[in-house]
Amino acid sequence: MAIIRKTKSVEALLTLFNKAENAMSVVELVKQLEKEMNKTTVYRILDRLEESGHLHSFIGKDGLTWYAKCKDCDEAHHHDAHPHFQCLNCGKVECLSVDVSIPKIPKREVVVSHVLIQGKCESCVK
């Protein structure tokens, strides 16, 4: 994991992610941090944390961008090929630690692949 300059704003964002068990949407992040920083700053830091391998992003239902903590990524290698699960009942979004096999596509090189599975989460399925 690359070292990034830990400003107060960066620290605030990382704290949120360390506390959160699940992924967080940009809307939620901006709302939770509105007293500490403006929207532009939130976006800028998210970009930086994604570049440095701290976070990864993906698109959820309704085209919203979600962010979650990375496990062993760094600047040069993001390996977040895991699928994400969005609960249609409570809205929770999680990283799934299962592998998806990405097909080999002739004459193309796959760089990013997003798999979003939607349904009912563990607590909602009961």
List interacting residues with Zn ion (CB under 5 A).
68, 87, 89-90, 92, 95, 121, 124
The letter for the amino acid at 71 is: K
CB of 39 to Zn ion, least distance (A): 23
Q: Which is nearer to Zn ion, 98 or 124 (CB)?
A: 124
Task: Judge whether 65 and 75 are in contact, CB under 8 Å.
Answer: no
CB of 27 to Zn ion, least distance (A): 18
Q: Where are the extended beta strands (E) located within 1-126?
A: 24-25, 55-59, 65-69, 84-87, 93-95, 116-119
CB of 42 to Zn ion, least distance (A): 19
Q: Which is nearer to Zn ion, 17 or 43 (CB)?
A: 17
CB neighbours of residue 6 within 10 Å: 9
CB of 33 to Zn ion, least distance (A): 21
The letter for the amino acid at 108 is: R
Q: Which is nearer to Zn ion, 36 or 98 (CB)?
A: 98
The token pair at 65 is 């961008």
Q: Which of 4, 29, 27, 26 is nearest to 16 (CA)?
A: 29
Q: Which is nearer to Zn ion, 39 or 110 (CB)?
A: 110
